Amino acid sequence: MPPAQGPEKMSYTVLARRYRSQTFDDVVGQEAAARTLKNAIATDRVAHAYLFTGTRGVGKTTMARILAKALNCLSSDQPTPAPCGRCESCLAIHEGEDIDVLEIDGASNTGVEHIRELRQNAIYRPARARFKIYIIDEVHMLSVSAFNALLKTLEEPPEHVKFILATTEPNKVPATIQSRCQRFDFRNIPADRIAQQLSAILETEKIPAEPALLRRIARLANGSMRDALSLLDQLLSMAEDRLTVELLGELLGTPRDQQIAELVDAIAAGDLSKVLGRTDVVLQEGLATEPLAQALQDYFRDLLVLKVCPADTELVEQDDAAQRETLSRQAQRFDEAALVYYITVMEQLRHSLKSGDGGRPLLEAALVRLAASERFSDTRALLELIESWQAASSAPPGSPAGPSGQAAGRSVTAAGRPAANTDNRTSDSTAGDKRTTKTAEAAATTAAGTGAATFDLPKTITLDFLRKNWPKIVAEIARREEGRHLEGYLQAARPLAWKEQNLELGFGQNEGIGRFLADHSLTVQEMQTALCRVLRQPVTIQIAATGDSSAPSPPAAPAVKPAKRRRSPGDKPSQQQINAAMADPQVRQIQQHLGGRVRQIGWVETDDSGDNQAEPESPTEPEVAESESVESDDELA
CATH of the domain at 541: 3.30.300.180
Asked if 26 and 111 sit in the same domain, the reply is yes
In this structure, the answer to whether residues 88 and 126 fall within a common structural domain is: yes
In a domain, 566, yes or no: no
Residue 287 in domain: yes
Domain span including residue 118: 15-185
- C-alpha 422/C-alpha 360 separation (Å) is 33
Question: 264 and 240 in one domain?
Answer: no
Cβ burial 62-93 (10 Å sphere, 16+ → b, else e)? bbbbbbbbbbbbeeeeebbbbbbbebebbebb
CATH number of residue 222's parent domain: 1.10.8.60
Residue 288: the pLDDT is 85
Residue 2 resides in a domain: no
Q: Over the chain (637 residues), what is each successive 10-residue block's mean pLDDT?
A: 47 87 92 94 93 94 94 92 91 90 87 88 89 93 91 89 94 93 93 92 90 88 92 86 82 81 91 92 86 91 91 80 87 88 92 82 92 60 59 52 38 34 39 39 42 67 86 85 78 85 82 78 82 84 64 43 46 61 66 56 49 43 40 38
Whether 97 contacts 68, CB under 8 Å: no
Amino acid, single-letter form, for residue 511: E
Look up residue 384 and give its amino acid.
E
Helices (H), 105-256: 112-122, 144-155, 175-178, 191-205, 211-220, 225-238, 245-252
Q: Are residues 226 and 129 located together in one domain of the fold?
A: no
pLDDT at 428: 41
pTM over 0.75: no
Domain membership flag for residue 563: no
558: in domain: no
- Sign, CA dihedral 519-522-525-526, equals negative
Q: Using the 3D structure, point to which of 185, 205, 232 is the last residue of a domain.
A: 185
Judge if 467 and 601 occupy the same domain. no
Amino acid at 470: W
Same domain for 333 and 477, yes or no, is no
- Is 222 in the same domain as 286? no
- Among 212, 237, 252, where does a domain finish? 252
Look at the chain and report how many structural domains it folds into.
5
Instruction: Classify residue 136 by its DSSP letter.
Output: E
> Residue 617 falls within a domain, yes or no?
yes
Q: In terms of domains, do 64 and 171 share one?
A: yes
CA distance 68 to 80: 10
Helix (H) or strand (E) holding 134: strand 132-137
Q: Are 480 and 582 in the same domain?
A: no
Same domain, 469 and 517: yes
Does 245 fall in a domain? yes
Cα–Cα distance for residue pair 303/260, rounded to 1 Å: 12
pLDDT at 163: 95
Burial class (CB in 10 A: 0-12, 13-18, 19+), 215: buried
The backbone region for 29, taken as left when phi is positive above 0, alpha when psi lies in -120 to 50, beta otherwise, is left
Task: Return d(Cα 174, Cα 147) in angstroms, integer.
Answer: 8
Query: How many angstroms separate the CA atoms of 62 and 46, rounded?
Result: 18
Strand 182-185, strand 49-53: pairing: parallel
Indicate whether 435 and 352 sit together in one domain.
no
Same domain, 219 and 123: no
Give the end of a domain, one of 498, 518, 552.
552
Q: Is residue 623 assigned to a domain?
A: yes
